[in-house]
Amino acid sequence: MSILRAAKTSTSKGSVNEEGISSLPYALQQLTINSIQGGNGGPGGGGGGGGSGGVGGTGTGARINLAGAGGIQTFNLHVTTQNSEELRNTLIRPISCPPPMHLNPKSIPGSAICPRSRNYQPPTTMNPTAHHAGSTYMLEVYRNRQGVPPLGTAVFEELEAKAREKFENYPGVFMYAGGSAGTNSTYRGNVRAFERYRIVPRMLVDATTRSLETTIFGVTYSSPLFIAPIGVQGLFSPSGELAAATAGKNLNIPFIMSNASSRSIEDVAAANGPGHRWYQLYWPASNEVTLSILARAKASGFAALLVTLDTHLLGWRTHDMARSYLPFAHGVGVQVGMSDPVFMARMGREPQVSPRPKFPYDAREMDRALEAGDEEVRDAVELGMEWLKEINSGRFRDWEDVGFLRENWEGPLVLKGIQSVGDAERALECGVDGIVVSNHGGRQVDGAIPSLEALVRIMRSSKVREAQAAGKFTILFDSGVRTGSDVFKAIALGAQGVLLGRPWLYGAAVAGQEGIEQVLKMTLADLDTTLGLSGYRSIAEIQGQGQEVLVECDL
């Protein structure tokens, strides 16, 4: 219940009631509180602050000055608290996330409004699930006067520089994430492709109430954003994948676990708790190991399976080769294998419980320990190389092999790495539930088609569009996504969900779980703000409407 019991005003322009300041005319809705004064009232009327209390009750009077378009207005309140800070918070809260307000034509000169709106009746209630992430987040940042801690920046390039600086004493760590295949041509193309498509904002659309909700595989998520699968997160933060899994749970964002994780399937699932989680599979060479992983993922509550198709071999990663930098070779990023009973039985050992590599990972130190005969390091190297043979075996699969996964996975099955129209249509024909249009962030094939361009081409297929519209085929997207407006564009071009990768990984490098959460919050706030300022109320309004929402420009 509100702490405001009653209110009177010295003007006729509005009043403060049990809903705070939400009943004031729009001209007074954008406010700053200049002062709060109050004192103890007595029976029959509160006397503090020069304001009258309610009849027949004990209360606290308070006078507040509100600065609006009509000048300074004074309100005398009777409240049930003597705590000025509590009163201040009650009054400020509606400002930070205001309910939908509309111009009252009667209070505005006729020349200032469209004549057709004179009979407009604004809604009196607000959808409780309405999204105001953008405006709320920005107002919090401005009000706190502390920038955007803990990362200290909302700019991707600055965050990337901070992550690079964080690991300057550990050669190879940053470039393992920041580097790509060959000349980085695909990486650059992924980012640049978003510049080709420009948003065409619409004006005079009531987008006060917005929703980012998205339904995928029958589950309604709070937004179309997914935490992309990234391997070896233990390179970047002490808690590795546990940080991202926990962030996903806290923010209600689906988390996708990589098969190349530095934590076990069971430990990551425990960190994610009641959150939404999917599992990404680097397809092992052995069917027995594959079945073991699928069983563990299912038992641990992973709802969907993403099978990465583009990494049967590691890409030509020049930055990593220059340093012979491969964490798997030292047993880092192979913890799913170390904890797998089938794989470890093949190695003649018991599966490890909660394996965790040392942080920070120093390849040079590991090499020195190996040369010195350290048995623990030698054991990790042996297991790492054998696991690498399983998940980057050089054994290329074909379309007939997909049936094996379909038969042995009960939930949604998604193929990740689709870049051609033909492959998208073949995926539909072979009975999978969806695809991720992706080129692995540019890490596998140098000079490949930008992922966004691949999405555009795939969505030109009538087979794909019809299956998507019928709810039989889901299109997800990744590679090159840096901002909320990038997410907006990918959705408009046909994607139903968007996987975010490098930005949150850099957040993890700089500030761990808190850094991940800040990146995700900023991305959602950016998406929400872009949606509203472009004149749309929901993700559903823009999904697949690229020709109406965007225009293609020459770079």
Rounded mean pLDDT, 482-487: 98
Rounded mean pLDDT, 474-484: 98
Residue 7 bridge partners (DSSP): 77
How many Cα atoms occupy the beta-carbon half-sphere of 172 within 13 Å?
A: 17
pLDDT of residue 21: 41
pLDDT higher than 90, residue 291: yes
pLDDT of residue 136: 84
Query: Does residue 371 lie within any of the structural domains?
Result: no
State the pLDDT confidence band at 32, using cuts at 50, 70 and 90. very low
Rounded mean pLDDT, 203-230: 97
Q: 50, 73, 97: which is the final residue of a domain? A: 97
Write out pLDDT tens, residues 335-383: 999 999 999 999 999 999 999 999 999 999 999 999 999 999 999 999 9
Query: Does residue 348 lie within any of the structural domains?
Result: no
CATH of the domain at 197: 3.20.20.70
pLDDT of residue 77: 52
- Integer Cα distance of 530 and 485 in angstroms: 6
pLDDT higher than 70, residue 543: yes
Cβ 296 vs Cβ 344: under 8 Å? no
Return the ∠ at Cα 62 (arms to 60 and 63), rounded to 5°: 165
Helix-strand-coil percent breakdown of the chain, rounded to 5? Answer: 45, 15, 40
User: What is the C-alpha end-to-end distance of the chain, expressed in Å?
Assistant: 56
Q: How many CB atoms lie within 10 A of CB 394?
A: 9
Rounded mean pLDDT, 483-501: 99
Nearest to 244 by CA among 205, 270, 271: 271
pLDDT higher than 80, residue 51: no
pLDDT of residue 62: 52
pTM value? Answer: 0.78
Q: Which residue has the higher pLDDT, 89 or 103?
A: 89
pLDDT of residue 173: 94
pLDDT of residue 86: 52
pLDDT of residue 381: 95
Same domain, yes or no: 516 and 425: yes
Whole-Å CA distances, 256 to 105, 231, 248, 260, 331: 50, 11, 9, 12, 22
Q: 97, 119, 138: which is the final residue of a domain? A: 97
Query: Does residue 110 lie within any of the structural domains?
Result: no
pLDDT higher than 90, residue 392: no
pLDDT higher than 60, residue 222: yes
Q: Which residues span the domain enclosing 67?
A: 4-97
Same domain, yes or no: 442 and 541: yes
Nearest to 87 by CA among 138, 16, 139, 144: 16
* 313-317, 446-450, 455-459: least confidently modelled range: 313-317
pLDDT higher than 60, residue 421: yes
SS (H, E, C) 142-179: HHHCCCCCCCCCCCHHHHHHHHHHHCCCCCCHHHHHHC
State the pLDDT confidence band at 242, using cuts at 50, 70 and 90. very high
Same domain, yes or no: 73 and 162: no
Structurally, how many domains does the chain consist of? 2
Cβ 53 vs Cβ 78: under 8 Å? yes
pLDDT of residue 83: 56
The residues annotated with a catalytic role in the active site are: 440
pLDDT higher than 60, residue 168: yes
Same domain, yes or no: 401 and 501: yes
Query: Does residue 376 lie within any of the structural domains?
Result: no
SS (H, E, C) 81-106: CCCHHHHHHHHHHHHHCCCCCCCCHH
On average, the pLDDT of the chain sits at 83
